[in-house]
Amino acid sequence: MEAQEILQDIYFVLLYGFVIGLSVAAALYLQLRRGNAIAPEVKSPVRLRRWAEAFLVAIALSHVFWVFYAKHPTPAVYWVVCGLDMFMLYPTITGVLVSMLQDRKRPVWPVLVALVPALVLVALCIIRGDEVLFLPLSIYAIALYALIILYMVFAVRKYGRWLRDNYADLENKEVWQSFIILAIFLLFFVMYNSISENGLVLVYIFQIGCIIIVALLLWRVETLPELTANAVPEAERENLEQEQKRKASKMDALLKKQCESKQLYLQNDLTLAQLSGAIGTNRTYLSQHFAQQGITYNAYINGLRIRHFVRLYQEAVADGRAFTAQQLASESGYRSYSTFSTTFKQVMGTTVAAWMRSAGK
């Protein structure tokens, strides 16, 4: 369907304008508001907010540019808009994705370098004034997208291991769900912009997808807590190797005395850094200690919490007191019952309900 025909649909024009307005409003919100409206208690990563703003502005500008093309549908304008789309959207969405990973700061400049061949192809298309290079450009755009996604798959897996090594409570810290949704949207975007003729239903779906992605991005920015300060520096690992060997035999005793006896594990957002400070050691050394035991920090804390839940359950049954699993989970250090039930199954090998039935409730 030609761009001029699409603009004759008043409902589509209204939807299109709404997407532009929503993107701009969301960008201004992230720029001007100091706190979070969705999760006021969360301090969001500043870098993620800035890249999210840039991506939202890029979405709005992309829509404006395509309106300009609809008004001036010449090959030169079409190729200029395509080039601007790639130059704006690829780096900004990459910035959003890598900013979610807070174990270290990942650069975005490689994407800009990788865009140079695409921009050269766009320039050749403008000079030639034909569509001979349209297919190579589309293939390159999709290939570049695929490389970005492939890199992020490995980065997200590594980030998940880093989280489990450093945090007891992973709720709202993991990013793989958001990454998958963003990746699907971007795939749809690349496919959409690689097809010269699009049906009206497809363009409607794409605009609705834009609304969903703006909402998702706002939610992710406001609920993802800043974690960078708790990262484990690589240089610090080497400096503490000798200290690790000297203190390894005392670590279990320290953990039992300071963490298990004092029930620090009941603090629902206890971090590796906080626990290491409580027992008078270094978070890097403590992380290495858990690695030597073949477990992660997350597994250690959750093992203590599940055992605490079992103990509370047995005491309540023995005393004949009324209780709920949700209540006992909360008393065992879990802010979210869904997180507790998932962890319980991982540790005990069965569901909470099945275990309670077998325990004789």
CA distance linking residue 98 with residue 96, whole number of Å? 6
CA distance linking residue 286 with residue 254, whole number of Å? 11
Q: What is the pLDDT of residues 19-29, one digit of tens each?
A: 999 999 999 99
Token look-up 């990973």 returns 101
pLDDT at position 231 is 47
pLDDT at position 186 is 63
Domains of the chain: 3-229 (1.20.1070.10), 231-358 (1.10.10.60)
User: 134 and 82 in contact (C-beta within 8 Å)?
Assistant: no
CA distance linking residue 68 with residue 87, whole number of Å? 17
What's 298-329 look like in SS3?
A: HHHHHHHHHHHHHHHHHHHHHHCCCCCHHHHH
Which residue type is seen at 78?
Y
Q: DSSP code of 258?
A: I
CA distance linking residue 182 with residue 177, whole number of Å? 9
Average pLDDT estimate for 120-140: 85
CA distance linking residue 344 with residue 148, whole number of Å? 35
Which residue type is seen at 290?
F
Q: What confidence category does residue 173 fall into, taking pLDDT thresholds of 50, 70 and 90?
A: confident
Closest CA relative to residue 277, chosen from 254, 303, 304, 293: 254
Give the relative orientation of helices 176-193 and 75-99 as an angle to the nearest 10 degrees: 170
- Other CB atoms within a 10 A radius of the CB of residue 230 amount to 17
pLDDT tops 50 at residue 229: no
pLDDT at position 241 is 57
pLDDT at position 190 is 58
Q: Encoding tokens for residue 46?
A: 């500043």
Q: What is the pLDDT of residues 177-193, one digit of tens each?
A: 666 766 666 666 655 55
Average pLDDT estimate for 131-141: 84
Percent of the chain scoring above 70 in pLDDT: 85
pLDDT at position 242 is 62
Q: What residues contact 267, with CB distance under 8 A and at least 6 apart? A: 274, 333
pLDDT tops 50 at residue 343: yes
pLDDT at position 321 is 87
